[in-house]
Amino acid sequence: MQQHYLIGKQVGNFRIIGILGQGGMADVFLGEHIPSGTQVAIKVLRQHLTGDQREINAFKMEAMRISYLQHSNIVRVIEYGYTPDGNLYIVMEKAEGSLTKFRGQLLHPQTAIHYILQIATALQYAHSQHITHRDLKPDNVLIDQHGTIKLSDFGIAVVSMSINVRTQEIAGTPPYMSPEQFQGHARSASDQYALGIITYELLCGERPFFADNFLGYGYQHTQVIPPNIKSKLPNMPNDIAIVIMRTLEKKIEDRFPSIMDYANTLIAAYKASLQGTTLSPSELYSQKQRREYQKTTEEVLKHIRSGDNLYDMKRYEGAVFEYDAALLLDPQQLEVYKKKGNALSKLHRDEEAIETLDIALRIEPNDAELYNTRGTVLSRMDKYEEALQSYYASLYINPNSLEAHIGRGDMLYELERFEEALQALDTAISINQYRHDIHASRGITLYKLQRFHEAMQACDIALRIFPNDFNAYKYKAFILQEMTRYDEAIDALKKALEIDDTNALIHFHMGNILTKCKLYQDALDAFNRAITFDPNFAKAYHNKAVVLSKLDRRKQAYEAHQKARELDPSLYSGIKGTIVNQLFKWLSKA
């Protein structure tokens, strides 16, 4: 490749030693100060433009403006003049790179804000000197070796000494140009718009708009609503997204009053997100936006209240409808997703409930309560392993979540990991020893571990805390039955039936114990009651058949057996099942 003819030449007190970059208007060279060897950047107007007076004037204006703007975040002009062959040049302090080095990356908000604040500070200073940059883009935001921003390329900057709108030539880089800039009316708010796009790009790795040409960008910037940054980054705190999207409003008056107002509000939103708080609408929105926000908020609250009332009335379909209406107006309402998930769960629309809760978790992935609710729904779907993982996720966020420890214990129990289940329940009791349901669950877990006396003690503690604990009586009956203390087991089941006499399972267990006591008629009555409350209870029909055979009512026994077989053929699978089938068939003919 042929070396540029200026390499090795001297301009002023500097020697050109290499090339850093080339643009449409100028080439940028690496230079060094002859006496000291200090490296600099030397910008030279391209040779074919030296006869274009407009380009010459723009180049001179850039040199004059930057030399006039004395700010730590604006690149410093050291000198400017003409090369030996008559080309204009500007000598500036050298930076190591630009924001383009982050293109395609997703910066951490703290890092991005560090750069945004410096850019905003430089631009606020320029604006105070009545200068609008008009070509803010990552290429023009330089970074020195210390990580300090150096704003450059004020070549097409416009000086605005009046608030009167004046038509200018359309200039800038289309992906970063504001709507008014496409119409030739650049203002300081145009730089805010461009900085908003840079912020958007730094945080999510892409710009809000893409087009093939100038007209395509012009249409999108002036007519199309940019995609909310939360659609790219669902986990982004809502306030930060609102702040960024406000800079991209089509109308100047809907953006922040100044570029520093934007930077300061962005910092405040970030700090609030770290503290788990939010900014007020007056901080986040313009006056017009606040009016719209208030109207929308009132509508959202109206739908939420209506949904809550319907939920309390157990009209869950209507509640889901109202919550959907609220979310249509404000898709970031985390609490509404929770409410909708609970309503869907009540309707046993569990798959939809999980989808709803997963949306909420994309908005707020650090909500332990959401994971607990998700675990509850999954457990009802018999997806115990998935439910367990949800409870573990909750505990990762909040190690002292009582509901997560209880849920973890219940799932480990269902997975027959009884020792681990007991540990989880013991942890829950250490957090709250007055929850009767935890002691009852501990009782049935100890029962599974065949630690019957401890299991009895746990159930008795549950009943001392809450004398109407249905499960505690049920579990106590199971334990007493295992200990062959049948009379006490029957008494425990009677207590459970005083609380809920429509529970088919309790009547079924009552029938089992009465059968062991050879009280066959009483057992038959219990199995009949179980079938009354659950007509599809196959095991109840089977046990009824056994009791009827004991009462020598063989035909009825065979009919009950056939019904059980019809409801659940798996009861009679294998060799044992074949023998039982033959036995009942023989009894019916005997």
Q: Catalytic positions, please? A: 135
Longest dimension (CA), the chain: 125
Q: What are phi and psi of 30, to 5 degrees?
A: -85, 130
3-class secondary structure per residue, 567-590: HCHHHHCHHHHHHHHHHHHHHHHC
Amino acid at the residue 16: I
How far are the Cα atoms of 187, 242, 244 from residue 257, in angstroms, in the given order? 12, 15, 14
Please compute, for residue 45, the number of CA atoms within 13 A of its CA located in the half-sphere on the CB side. 26
3-state helix, strand, coil in the chain (%, to 5): 60, 10, 30
The rounded Cα 500 to chain-centroid distance in angstroms is 42
Exposed e or buried b per residue across 375-394, where buried means at least 16 C-beta atoms within 10 angstroms of its C-beta = bbbbbeeebbebbbbbbebb
Query: 3-class DSSP state for residue 435?
Result: coil
- DSSP summary character for residue 24: S
- Closest-CA residue to 203 (of 176, 237, 164): 237
Q: In this structure, are residues 198 and 138 in contact, taking their beta carbons and an 8 Å threshold?
A: yes
Yes or no: say if 92 and 41 are a contact pair by the CB < 8 Å rule.
yes
Using an 8 Å Cβ cutoff, are 182 and 222 in contact? yes
Burial of 420 (0-12, 13-18, 19+ CB in 10 A): middle
Residue 41, C-beta contacts closer than 8 angstroms, at least 6 positions apart: 20, 28, 29, 30, 31, 91, 92, 93, 94, 95
Q: How far apart are the first and last CA of the chain?
A: 108
Spatial separation of the C-alpha atoms in residues 30 and 333, rounded to whole Å:
54
Q: Would you say how long the chain is, in residues?
A: 590
Rounded to a whole number of angstroms, the CA Rg of the chain reads 38
**Separation in Å, CA 101 to CA 24, 105, 181, 202, 575:** 21, 9, 26, 10, 73
Q: Which helix (H) or strand (E) holds 291?
A: helix 287-312
> Closest Cα to residue 183, out of 167, 159, 164?
167
Q: Which residue is it, tokens 């958007």?
A: 200
What is the residue whose two structure tokens read 């883009």?
137
DSSP letter assigned to residue 332: T
- Within 466-537, residue ranges assigned H as helices are 470-482, 486-499, 504-516, 520-533
Q: What's phi and psi for 393, nearest 5 deg?
A: -65, -40
Alpha helices (H) in 432-469, listed in sequence order: 436-448, 452-465
Distance CA 519, CA 111 (A): 78
